[in-house]
Structure 1
Amino acid sequence: MHLVAIERVNVYERDAIKSGIIRLLAPLGGMGAFVGPGERVLLKPNMLSAKPPEAAVTTHPEVLRAVVELVQEAGGVALVGDSPGIGGIDRVAERSGMLSVINETGAELTEFAESVEVSGAGTFKRFALARPYLEADKIINLPKLKTHEMMTMTCAVKNLFGAVVGHAKAGWHLKAGADREMFARMLVELYLLRKPDLTIVDAVIAMEGNGPGSGDPRQVGLLLAGANAVSVDVIAAEIAGIPKKLLYVEQVAARLGIDGADRSTISTAGLSVDEACVADFRLPHISDVQFGLPPFLKNRLRHYLTSRPCVMPEKCRLCGICRDACPPHAIEIRDGKLHFDYHACIRCFCCRELCPDGALDVKDGALSRLIKIFL
């Protein structure tokens, strides 16, 4: 059985978070069960972009602080690393409040700059992953529980996509991002290359709606932890009430028989799932109404069936971040306006994820809107 611990913590107060994480890890054997003296332990928070903690875009700095201190108390050397979606790691760490924690605790901020190519054993034969991620003695995964416009939920497994360095993420979106199930398969295969030793989820304040960068903070008041990241995702999704048909990563993991995907093999400690459940957790505004169409027809009708990003001119300051981040280069600035090439757009929503001003919205395709009227 895979054990997932659930603990109630309602505020990001320093002592409350640390004592909450100690209680959280107790059923799993405490931090000492995962970290040995002298081990270099990479902490992998969500460092998507340079947003303040209250925006709920990144892992909260007090969660990071508590884990760093517990790693150090167990004799480990704490490293903090990620590859932000936009902006340098120093800027993101500073704006998110993590840099002050790193400086105060004596942890080491580790930039994911150099990649190492590793062989995959599934559909995707080669991955280039950050050297510090591969070479750390132990990895502690520190995701934020958020909605995600492409994968519906980003939590334990999706957070590991940060091991892909910088602009290589755009390449993966271009290669696998046109199909949600294919992208989910890539995430699962990446996870299998180097599984984290421990996952601790920051869900004290989660993100609902149009996450992972443009959603709304939602008080949930929970911390979750487990040694198996897939099992942690299964329980997190159950707590948020997300339908299984929308959990692309978990569906792929179950089809592949990945350890931890079968709910019957997961037990919980601390709060029960029923006690932890969140009512009316708002999901992203996504639609992909393709009804199992054959590929040749799906490709022809995709523009009319799927949701797509669109600009809100009153908020857009034409900074060009979305244009530069777009994997298929489907965005351009022309005549003082933002223009989308929807036939090239792969609906990965990287533009919305990285827009610093929340200036991009989602619009249903014409046939999709019609279908919703009559359903």
Structure 2
Amino acid sequence: MKLVGIERVDSYERAVVKEGMARLLKPLGGMEAFVQPGEKVLLKPNMLSAKTPDAAVTTHPEVLRAAIELVQQAGGLPLVGDSPGVGSQKRVAEKTGLLQVIEESGAEIADFSEPVEVAGKGTFKRFALARPYLEADRVINLPKLKTHEMMTMTCAVKNLFGAVVGAGKAGWHLKAGADRDLFARMLVELYLLRKPDLNIVDAVAAMEGDGPGSGDPRHVGLLLAGENAVAVDVVAAEIAGIPKKLLYIQRAAASLGVDGADRSEIETTGLPLEEACVPGFRLPHISDVQFGLPQFLKNRLRHYLTSRPCLVEERCRLCGVCKDACPPHAIDIKEGRLSFDYHACIRCFCCRELCPEGALDVVEGTLVKIIKKFK
């Protein structure tokens, strides 16, 4: 059985988070079960972009602080690293409050700029991952529970995509991002290359709606933990009320026979699951009805079958973040406004995910609107 702990933590007050995390890990053997004295321990938070902690975009600094202190008490040497979607690691760490915690605690920042090529073991043959992620003695994954417009939910497995260095993420979106199931398979195969030793989920304040960067904070008041990242994701999705058919990562894990995807093999401890479940957790409104169609029809009808990004002109500052982040270079700035090439657009929504002003919305395809109307 895969064990997943659930603990009620109602605020980010320092003592509350530290005590809650200690209670959370106790049934799993405590931090000492995962960290030995003298080991270099990489803590991998979500550092998507330079947003303040109240935006619920990134792992909260007090969750990182509690994890660092528990690692230190177990005798480990904590390093903190991630590769943000936009901006330098130091800039994002500073804005999110994570840098202050790192400096105050005596931990070190791990430089995620150097990629190391690793042979894949499945559909995808090569991955280039940050050296500290591969070389650390232990990896502790610190994801944020959020909705995700492409994967429906981002939590433990998806957070490991941050081990891909910088521009490498755009390459993966180009290679696999036009198909959600294929992209989920890539994420699972990446996870299998270096499984975290422990996953601790920040769900004190989660994100609902159009996450992972443009959604709304939602107080959930929980921390989750488990050794198996897939099992942690399954329980997190159950708490958020996300139907299995929308969990692309879980589906990919199940198809590959990966441990943790079978709910019957997962046991929860701590707060009873029925007390942890969140009513009315809003999911992304991105719609896509093209799955199951022949490829030639997908290509011809994609504009009508899928949602696509569009500009909210009054919010746009023409900063160019979306243009630079777009994997297929489908966004340009022409005559003082954004221009979209929807034939090139792969609907990965990286532009919405990374826009610092929330200036990108979604317009649904014509057939999607008709289907919803008759539903």
TM-score by length of 1: 0.99
SS at match of 1:78: strand
| CA distance, structure 2, for counterparts of residue 89 and residue 115 of structure 1 | 15
Q: Deviations over 1:110-139 (max 9, x none)?
A: 120111111111000000001000000000
Q: Does 1:307 align with 2:295?
A: no
Q: Match of 1:99, as an amino acid?
A: L
SS at match of 2:314: coil
Q: Deviations over 1:160-212 (max 9, x none)?
A: 00000000100000000000000000000000000000000000000000000
Q: Does 1:45 align with 2:45?
A: yes
User: Which residue in the other structure is 2:239 paired with?
Assistant: 239
Relative to 1, partners in 2 of residues 1:261 and 1:356: Cα closer, same or farther, differing over 3 Å?
same
Unaligned 5+ segments in structure 1 are none
User: Which residue in the other structure is 1:258 paired with?
Assistant: 258
Q: Match of 1:170, as an amino acid?
A: A
Q: Match of 1:355, as an amino acid?
A: C
User: Which residue in the other structure is 1:282 paired with?
Assistant: 282
Q: Does 1:141 align with 2:146?
A: no
SS at match of 2:68: helix
Alignment of 1:52-201 (within 5 A): 52-201=52-201
SS at match of 1:314: helix
Q: Deviations over 1:208-232 (max 9, x none)?
A: 0000000000000000000000000
Residue identity (%): 77
| CA distance, structure 2, for counterparts of residue 321 and residue 82 of structure 1 | 19
Q: Match of 2:363, as an amino acid?
A: K
User: Which residue in the other structure is 1:208 paired with?
Assistant: 208
Deviates more, 1:267-276 or 1:11-20: 267-276
Q: Deviations over 1:259-278 (max 9, x none)?
A: 11100110000012111000
SS at match of 1:224: strand
SS at match of 1:353: helix
Deviation of 1:322 after TM superposition, in Å, equals 0.1
| CA distance, structure 2, for counterparts of residue 291 and residue 271 of structure 1 | 38
User: Which residue in the other structure is 2:228 paired with?
Assistant: 228
Deviation of 1:291 after TM superposition, in Å, equals 5.2
Q: Does 1:294 align with 2:294?
A: yes
Q: Match of 1:88, as an amino acid?
A: S
Q: Match of 2:90, as an amino acid?
A: D
Q: Match of 2:124, as an amino acid?
A: F
User: Which residue in the other structure is 1:338 paired with?
Assistant: 338
Deviates more, 1:68-77 or 1:295-304: 295-304
Q: Deviations over 1:74-111 (max 9, x none)?
A: 00000000000000011100100001100000000112
| CA distance, structure 2, for counterparts of residue 145 and residue 174 of structure 1 | 25
Q: Match of 1:25, as an amino acid?
A: L
Could you list the structure 1 runs, at least 4 aligned residues long, displaced by more than 4 angstroms after superposition: none
